[in-house]
Amino acid sequence: MLLKELKCPGCGAPLKSKERDIMLKCDHCGRISLFADGKINDVGYSIASPAKEHSGELIYVPFWIVNADLNVHKESISGGKISRFITDQRQMRGTRDFYVCASAIPEEFSREWNMDLTLDQPKLNLISDFKGGKRAVMTMRKEIAGENAEFLFLRYEAEIPGTLQKLDYDFRINSTKVLYLPAYKISDKYVLGVSNE
Ligand SMILES: [Zn+2]
């Protein structure tokens, strides 16, 4: 088998695959590319500005941002219909960005992040490099991110009071891109530290 040389889509310098990180950084020009299916993919990525004066170690955590249309055609709930109505429950419907943590951050943190960020879409200031912190390895493939986004919706529906008996919906992915969000590691805890100024 011939092993193809991996090249940076920006400058053509050779890329080395290391660790478990599927995002490879070019040592020459600094561009980051996605390594998938044995080849280099020139994916767009953004980096969000970290909150200033936060304690802990700054780490930029990769997320897959899955933009999707979610249409619910029919839903039957027993028991909780009234409480769903009166508690002004936020709805995960229509077109939105689904946040799916793509790094091996313990699930007790990433689960909450995915849900909170998807429900309350953050305002972000973007920066051009990983200033002041290191980049967490990305382990999740793009295809898995789409499945996780759909699963996030199902988990949300299941957690609303009342027993879900029937859910008929369409989930259509429009685009998938990479976003690095700043987090701070304090002993063994992780907190997101996104700047909203
Ligand atoms: Zn390069």
Those residues whose C-beta lies under 8 Å from the C-beta of residue 8, and which sit 6 or more positions away, are 14, 15, 26, 28, 29, 31, 33, 40
Taking the centre of ligand 1 as the mean of its atom positions, its distance from the CA of residue 6, in whole angstroms, is 11
- Measured torsion, CA atoms of residues 54, 59, 65, 71, in degrees rounded to the nearest 10: -50
Give the mean pLDDT of 65-94: 73
Q: What is the DSSP letter of 5?
A: P
How confident is the model over 161-190, as a mean pLDDT? 91
Count of CB atoms within 10 A of residue 28's CB? Answer: 13
Q: Which residue do the tokens 């004066």 mark?
A: 53
1 residue type, one letter: M
Residue 82 Cα to ligand 1 middle (Å): 57
Q: Is 24 helix (H, G, I), strand (E, B) or coil?
A: strand
The pLDDT value recorded for residue 17 is 75
Going from the Cα of 127 to the center of ligand 1, the distance in angstroms, rounded, reads 19
Give residue-wise pLDDT tens across range 127-158.
999 989 999 999 999 999 999 999 999 998 88
H or E stretch at 35:
strand 32-36
- Which of 142, 144, 166 minimizes the C-alpha distance to 154? 166
Task: Read off the pLDDT of each residue in 84-95 and give the average, rounded to a whole number.
Answer: 67
Query: Residue 12 C-alpha to ligand 1 middle, in angstroms?
Result: 6
Find out whether 94 and 118 touch, Cβ atoms under 8 Å.
no
Can you give the pLDDT at residue 127?
94
Nearest to 114, CA basis, from 103, 126, 125, 124: 103
In one letter, which amino acid is 176?
T
Please give the structure tokens belonging to residue 134: 């290191």
pLDDT bin (cut points 50, 70, 90) of residue 86 is: very low
Q: How confident is the model over 2-54, as pLDDT tens digits?
A: 456 789 999 999 988 766 889 999 999 989 999 988 889 888 899 999 988 88
pLDDT over 80 at 88, yes or no:
no
pLDDT grade for 1, boundaries at 50, 70 and 90: very low
Measured in Å, residue 57 CA sits from the centre of ligand 1 at 28
